[in-house]
Amino acid sequence: MRNNVLNVLIFAGLSVGFYYFWIYAEKNWLAPPKPPAAKTDEPELTPEEVEKRAAEQKARDEKQAATAAVAGAAAASTDPKAPKPPEVRVTEPPKPTPRERPTLIRMGDGTFYNQVLLSTRGGGVQQIVLPRFDEADRLGREVKGTPLYLVPGVPRVRGRFSLPEPSFAALAVSGVPPTVLGKLEELKGKDFRTWDAVAVELARVLGPDDAERYEPAILRAARVREPDLADSYPTPDLQPGPVPAGTRLAEPSYAIFHYPTPDEKTPDTKLGEMAWKVVSEEHPEGGDHKVVFEAELGEPHFFKFRKTYTLGPKDYHISLRVEIERLPGGAKGKHPLRYQLSGPRGLPIEGEWYTNTFRTALIGWNDRKGAPRRQYEPATEVAAKRGGEPVPKGENTFKYMAVATQYFASAVAIDDTAEGAAKNPWAYVRATTELPFDKKADRNVPYFDDVTVRAASDVIDLAPGEPAVVHSYVIYNGPAKVKLLGLMEGNRAVEQPLVDRYQDRLGLRTVTDYQSPTWLGSFASAIYWTDLVIMFTNLMHWLLAAIHTVVPNWALCIVCLTVIVRLVLLVPSKKQTKMNVKMMQVQKRLAPQLEEMKKKYGDDFNGYNRAKMQLMMANGVNPLAAMGGCLLLFAQMPIMMGLYFCLQESVFFRLDHFLWVDNLAAPDMAVWWGEKIPYLSTPDNIGGTLYMGPYFNILPILAVMLMIGQQLAMLPPPIDDQAKQQRMTMKIMMFIMPLLFYKFAAGLALYFIIGTVWGIAERKFITKVDPNAPPDTGPTAGLPPKPGSPNGQATPGSPPKAPGMLGRLRDSLQKKMEEMQRQADEQSKRQIRNDRGAPGGGAGDGDGGPNQPRRDDRRDKKKKRKK
């Protein structure tokens, strides 16, 4: 049976390999099948009939040509004063009026923690830059000398693009004029590595105005393929002032739209597309920068909106104050409205080939009991449903809505401490996909779709002259783990009261410190396991920051932290290692006896295990030693998980260098092996099971090899089939684990390497046990055995030592196990006696013993009673 397991595994591996080989061959080597010929209801024609029809068609063509010639001559000979038939002209559809070019206004200079470009279009935020953090490209490498563009403000379209013949047909159907299509003929068949290259060519061929007008339609019709990761996005080049013609802009973030009626589900885009008036600007040196926009919504609503942005030098947020008042001409009760506040757009995804965290929509609120709650929806779910699940107000109190990536977040939180502002102004909040309505999500790589969040306000109904409705917000832009701001030093230091405000008052703590959105996360939260892991994660962050005050290199900080963790666990780990070595020693010495027992019991696996346990107990091995190892591992789990999440979310390791590693938060990327290896590195296979990326990584493979070597060294010698099966399983894991660990961050791989080397050294140098020594020469050989111990009776006159809590638990479990063993033995003996007392000497015929009635007799009696 166990040999069959190995055969099944080999067969499964070969089947999977053949499956992927066949797909690759079918895609690249085999010619595509010819399309089937169109079916007609007409019978096949003979050659004579074909010639006859061709002659008839030729005669018809000659007749039409003669008729046209006669008509032309007649037209030439007629009186020129005779009225001519009306001339049919093909007219192009009217061109839409281009939108007014916006003006950009800068807030914050090089000394600010946030730098912002505001736009007069919609009075929104066009761009947000974090100058204290560096930009990372799509491979996860540092872009030298470039700050992090958290909200780029320009379109970043993934893909390689071309305009084949089907694209022109789609453009004609969508209403693109023939003159434009004629100009685009110059680009037919060309391959462009980025959409920015396409935009440059469109501006050259069509001109800036037509290029901007028809670019969305051309993008929808273009053929898109997965891009090469080495082709990174260009750095946004937006400057304050009027936007020049030909400059491509993304839709502004944090814009406002209005619903024509309170019950309307789709907002009107007028407020978001119109040019807002700049009322005032303040840019004092070293002080807060302030910009005020205004816009009016005329008949039939008669409302005026005012947006005031304020940015402080040492703040990681922008204050936004929205004031709404009624204009003359409106009346209370007539044409009330509600507005929609949109969220951020286009947050960059770093390391597209290795990351597991893409854009995620988050909504935070407090329930009626004041407990924090959070909704977590990744881009894949939002795109698949064309929108997230709405979160209504009900009895909840909204705190924030955000879009986050692995390390950074942009969120708008409700500032309920502002004077005169509403405390809970939103009616509901929902995540939305930014895909066009006529475009579906890419089923192969839906992770890269853009998402945002949108909040709909409560109904606003005012009379002219009434005080304005005020809604105050805080637009946070910084690390997703807000607590890390308090650990920053130097020119990135943030005051602790501001960090506490972000975490507690605005509720941004739950962006990261919350349960996972699965049933397992709910279970872990119910038993307080989530709280324990969060506590240890924050402790690891604090320890790393404390070590970094002494050790300047973050990689060496990981080494120091690993050593500290292993020292804390040294005593229980050392005890468990000695127990494992002792068990291996006894099993090796008892190998001949165990082999004889195996032959004796044959296929009676349970009987063999019971006898083996009794033999091990008689030779001084506690059967609960393995359980002790599980308990030790369980005790370490919060620490290990806390360290794992700490390394995954810390912005300090991001883009930090060590030896050949350029980014401790990414795989070590030792050797570039390209993007042309089928299934392993081609961009089309991103997200696939076998996809490993364009780099060969050394640290994860080294970590896996050390871990497997340590486990093999800890396994008992293969004295039976079960031990052999365990070793076979470990050998199979040698091929599976590298796939699972291959794209781990270099900092995390470094932690596993140091921890495993420590464990190997601990086993080799701390535990000194002679494998050939008898079992009573161990460290407890000179101590008197405890009463009831399988090693013998206690020495008279030496009172036993009072056991502690763990000792009492161990003794209780051991007594229960012995009692269960005794009951199992008695049950086995009774079964043997019953089998011997059955007619024919066996129990296979279904009869009972001599004092028991036959089963057939019992069935007959039941039948008689029924009658």
Q: Please tell me the predicted confidence (pLDDT) of residue 791.
A: 44
Confidence of residue 41 (pLDDT cuts 50, 70, 90): very low
Q: Please tell me the predicted confidence (pLDDT) of residue 842.
A: 45
| Strand ranges across the sheet with 338-342 | 256-259, 338-342, 451-457, 426-433, 391-392
Which of the two residues, 190 and 794, has the higher pLDDT score? Answer: 190
Q: Please tell me the predicted confidence (pLDDT) of residue 4.
A: 46
Distance, CA of 682 to CA of 694 (rounded, Å): 8
Q: What is the mean pLDDT of residues 657-669?
A: 88
Q: Is the peptide bond before 300 cis (omega within 30 degrees of 0)?
A: yes
Confidence of residue 38 (pLDDT cuts 50, 70, 90): very low
Q: What is the mean pLDDT of residues 814-839?
A: 61
Distance, CA of 294 to CA of 386 (rounded, Å): 32
How far is it between the farthest Cα atoms of the chain?
A: 145
pLDDT digits (tens, 9 = 90+) for 463-475: 888 999 999 999 9
Confidence of residue 88 (pLDDT cuts 50, 70, 90): very low
| Amino acid making up residue 479 | P
Confidence of residue 608 (pLDDT cuts 50, 70, 90): confident
**Alpha-helix residue ranges (DSSP H) falling in 605-720:** 605-618, 625-649, 699-714
Q: Dihedral (C-alpha) 829, 834, 836, 839: value to the nearest 10 degrees?
A: -170
Distance, CA of 214 to CA of 184 (rounded, Å): 11
Confidence of residue 131 (pLDDT cuts 50, 70, 90): very high
Beta-carbon-side half-sphere exposure of residue 583 (alpha carbons within 13 Å)? 22
DSSP letter, residue 291: E
Residue 380 has pLDDT above 70, yes or no: yes
Distance, CA of 696 to CA of 700 (rounded, Å): 10
Angle (deg, nearest 10), helices 721-741 and 699-714: 170
Considering 8-17, 153-162, 196-205, 306-315, the range whose residues carry the highest mean pLDDT is 306-315
Q: Please tell me the predicted confidence (pLDDT) of residue 485.
A: 92
Q: Please tell me the predicted confidence (pLDDT) of residue 846.
A: 43
Q: Please tell me the predicted confidence (pLDDT) of residue 681.
A: 82
Q: What is the mean pLDDT of residues 142-160?
A: 87
Q: For residue 341, what is the enclosing H or E element? A: strand 338-342
> Which of 173, 665, 715 minimizes the C-alpha distance to 407?
665
Q: Please tell me the predicted confidence (pLDDT) of residue 789.
A: 44
Distance, CA of 716 to CA of 738 (rounded, Å): 24
Q: What is the mean pLDDT of residues 273-292?
A: 91
Distance, CA of 147 to CA of 491 (rounded, Å): 15
Residues in the chain: 867
Residue 189 has pLDDT above 60, yes or no: yes
Q: Please tell me the predicted confidence (pLDDT) of residue 295.
A: 93
Q: Give every CB contact of residue 747 below 8 A, 6+ residues apart in sequence.
A: 554, 555, 558, 647, 653, 664, 665
Which of the two residues, 776 and 163, has the higher pLDDT score? Answer: 163
- Out of 444-448, 752-756, 760-764, pick the least confident: 444-448
Confidence of residue 649 (pLDDT cuts 50, 70, 90): confident
Residue 708 phi/psi, 5° resolution? -70, -40
Tally DSSP H helices, then E strands, for the chain. Answer: 21, 24
Residue 721 has pLDDT above 80, yes or no: no
> Which of 667, 665, 638, 643 minimizes the C-alpha distance to 654?
665
Q: Dihedral (C-alpha) 168, 172, 176, 181: value to the nearest 10 degrees?
A: 40
pLDDT digits (tens, 9 = 90+) for 402-426: 999 989 999 999 997 888 788 889 9
Beta strands in 87-213 (DSSP E): 103-107, 115-119, 125-136, 142-151, 160-162, 191-192
- Out of 57-61, 79-83, 118-122, 324-328, pick the least confident: 79-83
Q: Please tell me the predicted confidence (pLDDT) of residue 8.
A: 47
Q: Please tell me the predicted confidence (pLDDT) of residue 440.
A: 59
Beta-carbon-side half-sphere exposure of residue 188 (alpha carbons within 13 Å)? 14
Q: Please tell me the predicted confidence (pLDDT) of residue 638.
A: 82
Distance, CA of 257 to CA of 121 (rounded, Å): 12
Reduced to 3 states (helix: H, G, I; strand: E, B; else coil), residue 497 is helix
- pTM (2 d.p.): 0.74
> Which of 845, 115, 46 minimizes the C-alpha distance to 478?
115
**Alpha-helix residue ranges (DSSP H) falling in 257-306:** 270-273
> Which of 344, 397, 342 minimizes the C-alpha distance to 369?
397
Residue 309 has pLDDT above 90, yes or no: yes
Q: Please tell me the predicted confidence (pLDDT) of residue 691.
A: 83
Which of the two residues, 546 and 714, has the higher pLDDT score? Answer: 546
For the beta carbon of residue 314, count every other beta carbon within 10 angstroms.
Answer: 13
Rounded (5°) CA angle 272-278-284: 125
Reduced to 3 states (helix: H, G, I; strand: E, B; else coil), residue 475 is strand
Per-residue b or e along 562-575, where b marks 16 or more CB atoms closer than 10 Å to that residue's CB: beebbeebeeebee
Is there a contact between 381 and 388 (Cβ–Cβ < 8 Å)? yes
Beta strands in 371-442 (DSSP E): 372-378, 391-392, 397-404, 408-414, 426-433
Q: What is the mean pLDDT of residues 594-608?
A: 73
pLDDT digits (tens, 9 = 90+) for 340-353: 999 999 899 888 88
Structure tokens belonging to residue 838:
């059955």
Q: What is the mean pLDDT of residues 572-592?
A: 71
Q: What is the mean pLDDT of residues 693-703?
A: 87
Q: Please tell me the predicted confidence (pLDDT) of residue 844.
A: 43
% of the chain at pLDDT higher than 70: 69
Q: Give every CB contact of residue 324 below 8 A, 6+ residues apart in sequence.
A: 303, 304, 305, 306, 339, 460, 462, 468, 469, 471
